[in-house]
Amino acid sequence: MSTQAAGNGAANPTSAETPVAPAPRPNAHHDVLIVGGGTAGLTVAARLRRARPSLGVAVIEPSDQHYYQPLWTLVGGGVMPREVTARNEADVMPGGVTWIRDRVAAFDPEANAVETAGGRRIGYGQLVVAAGIQVNWDGIPGLKESIGRHGVCSNYSYEHVPYTWECIRGMRSGNAIFTQPKGSIKCGGAPQKILYLAEDYFRSRSKVRDDVKVIFAAPGDSIFGVEKYRVPLEKRVADGEIDTMFGHHLVEIRGEERVAVLERVADEERIEINYEMMHVTPPMSAPKFIAESPLANEEGWVEADQFTMRHPRFGNVWALGDCAGLPASKTGAAVRKQAPVVVKNMLAVLDDRRLEAAYNGYSSCPVVTGYGRLVLAEFDYDGQPAESFPFNQAKERRSMYLMKKHLLPLLYWQGMLKGRA
């Protein structure tokens, strides 16, 4: 990775030090360069274009497809076709934004530039890092070889999400295992949402439910971290006669044998369980090109002030979304609150004003508890409820389920990605 040299880099024949060449000049320069054309990146781009059209905004994004991933739970549950979750990236890119179809290989924040896999060097005035999270399909031995067959399914892949429904509706007897990995993941409630849908479907076929054992394995010590919502979800688990294996995570799959190897977090003791179907949430991490960069914190995420979203060491760098090193849940709802803060504070810096916008850690987890039922969990950095509606959101409601199914996708495509909500 290149660094910016001190001085002009000219050789000094009287100096014992080896001269350092100056950083190469960028091939292009943009007022605001956004790394990532997913939810966070496009929301910021759209808001910037609305707030200050004179700014030159560019987005680096290699993918030609854009997905609304929160609906993959309902796709896996047989409620919706996966095609409704996809759009062409070109169709959702905000007007007036330069789309750079490449991927970032390295950051050079000292020189205000990034280097791309395609060999370009791109300069910026302000940098927004919104590159999402890395899904590590090879993080569990046997997962990559088994996903999409041998009864191993996952809602975390557009390619494989239809197989989840195939596994659920084909289940007749045996163990149905649902897993959650150690560490941060996007949409922390998703592993249990599909658990509840599957159990509800099995229960609708009474003979099948009698012959199926539903197991939820997670490394934590409870079903949910916020007490107000933990209580009704514990009741849902009890009512569904779901076996919980808290303090355990999946460490190996032997697909052809249909064997799951779980490890106890406390002492690393392993247990083997036969399964008929298994929904796996793969381990995740910060993207490698971020973790190995000068922008990263000790855990590999982009270092950022949890309130202002600004990098503490590079004042023209901002981070939001799943790649940001914030003590908040990694959800699209969090991005909806983070994006306005990034835009307002960036404009304040450009105008030489004080930073006044602050993110309070808000996140939302619409926990689908069955077909037509949902608990809408909303909370802040302190784990305190931060609810939007004047009723008890810890209660399972059909209205909230319909909101997730119909209204939230509309808010996403026509609101967030257009800078309106």
Catalytic positions are 187, 365
What phi-psi label fits residue 166: left (phi over 0), alpha (psi between -120 and 50 degrees) or beta? alpha
CB atoms closer than 10 angstroms to residue 308: 21
**Residues lower than pLDDT 70 in the chain:** 1-22
What structural domains does the chain harbor? 28-133+286-350 (3.50.50.60), 136-285 (3.50.50.60)
From residue 330, alpha-carbon distances to 59, 175, 322 in Å are 21, 30, 5
From residue 10, alpha-carbon distances to 167, 244, 369 in Å are 66, 66, 66
Distance CA 18, CA 12 (A): 9
Q: pLDDT at position 138, please?
A: 97
Residue showing tokens 């799951």: 260
Long-range interactions of 227-236: CB distance < 8 A, separation 24+: 228/377, 228/385, 228/394, 229/365, 229/367, 229/375, 229/377, 229/379, 229/385, 229/394, 231/394, 232/369, 232/375, 232/394, 232/395, 232/396, 233/192, 233/367, 233/369, 233/375, 236/196, 236/369, 236/370, 236/396
User: Closest Cα partner for 100 from 146, 63, 142, 48?
Assistant: 63
* Tokens found for residue 215: 């197991």
Residue showing tokens 């996403």: 412
**DSSP track, 132-201:** --EE-TTSSTTHHHHBTSTTEE-TT-TTTHHHHHHHHHT--SEEEEEE--SS--BSTTHHHHHHHHHHHH
Q: pLDDT at position 200, please?
A: 97
- Confirm if 56 and 30 have CB atoms less than 8 A apart: yes
User: Closest Cα partner for 79 from 414, 421, 409, 365?
Assistant: 409
Q: At what angle do helices 39-51 and 332-350 cross, to 10 degrees?
A: 40
- Confirm if 286 and 134 have CB atoms less than 8 A apart: yes
pLDDT in tens, 303-348: 999 999 999 999 999 999 999 999 999 999 999 999 999 999 999 9
Strand partners, 331: none
Q: pLDDT at position 33, please?
A: 98
Longest Cα–Cα distance in the chain: 88
Distance CA 133, CA 129 (A): 12
Q: pLDDT at position 279, please?
A: 98
From residue 112, alpha-carbon distances to 4, 73, 317, 347, 395 in Å are 9, 40, 9, 18, 49
pLDDT in tens, 126-135: 999 999 999 9
Which secondary structure element, helix H or strand E, spans residue 233, and what is its range?
Answer: helix 227-239
User: Closest Cα partner for 370 from 164, 153, 73?
Assistant: 73
Q: pLDDT at position 4, please?
A: 34
